[in-house]
Amino acid sequence: MHGTGVPLVTPIADDGRVDHERLEALVDWFASAGIDFFVPCGSTGEAPLLTADERTQVVETVADATEKPVLAGTGHEGYEPTLEATEGAAAAGADAALVVTPSYYGSDDAALGRYYHNLADKSPIPIYLYSVPKFTDYPLSPRLVESLATHENVAGIKDSSGSIESIQRLVRFTADADFSVLVGHGSVYAHALDAGADGGVLAVANAVPDLASEVFEIHQSGDAAAARDLNAAIVELNRTVTARYGVPGIKAALAHRGLEVGPPRRPLEPVGEDAAAEITAVLEAALEA
């Protein structure tokens, strides 16, 4: 996995079921906008609010709709359900699994190291670590990641901490391994690429896949300063849509771009009129940059 990945929202129909037809249309739109790989059933995809069967079906729909790589979110709070979900994602066509850090009961690096190592031993597809302290309140330490990167079936990490220091350390500590470092925070995408990241999995890419992809392409062309300038144009959008309003905000932004993806899953609720107006304003500003 390298380049710009999108953690797909999950379209929901009026009756509350997953809308697979709209999901296929989303995949087509993102592919045409330059997205390099797809990440269904992540945090932005409301994975904790989907049933196990729904998650597998979402992965299958995405994998059938694209020839681009699919990195499926399979993490649960326990080892057995995570392994089961990973096996299901592999059977559904996923190329790799993104496994969020278990957090409900708390843990430490030693226990998490054994957890990921054992999972990688059994997984039929490569494992990507997923550190998202905003939700888990526990960042995976770069030294732990360094130890896991030597496992032949641990292929990378999505670091959503927003810390460039963390990205720098991850890149340095895993330099000798066949291991991808992906940033999960859209506001620092270009800066993470400067630090040696291989790409990103960016929630804001749901709203502006074309701009997010362009940041990577410009950086790859050698113009890091221009990539940072373009990245700066989506910082306010990322802060508003992703950090402030979350999944409901992202779905509102997609609706403004003409892609109806339905409401969020309960207990999440759609944004109100004032929030929708704010999202529209910052989205339009980003698109005009």
Q: Which residues are catalytic?
A: 130, 158
- With beta carbons less than 8 A apart as the criterion, state whether 263 and 269 touch: yes
Rounded Cα gap, residues 57 and 285, in angstroms: 36
Task: Please report the DSSP string for the chain in residue order.
Answer: --EEEE-----B-TTSSB-HHHHHHHHHHHHHTT--EE-TTSTTTTGGGS-HHHHHHHHHHHHHH-SS-BEEE---SSHHHHHHHHHHHHHHT-SEEEEEPP-TT---HHHHHHHHHHHHHH-SS-EEEEE-HHHHS-PPPHHHHHHHTTSTTEEEEEE-S--HHHHHHHHHHTTTSS-EEEE--GGGHHHHHHTT--EEE-GGGGT-HHHHHHHHHHHHTT-HHHHHHHHHTTHHHIIIIIIISHHHHHHHHHHHTT----PPPTT-----HHHHHHHHHHHHHHHH-
Q: Which backbone phi and psi does 21 adopt, to 5 degrees?
A: -65, -45
The answer to the question of whether 44 is labelled as a binding residue is: yes
The answer to the question of whether 201 is labelled as a binding residue is: yes
Q: Which residues are annotated as a binding site for pyruvate?
A: 44, 201
Q: Which residues are annotated as a binding site?
A: 44, 201
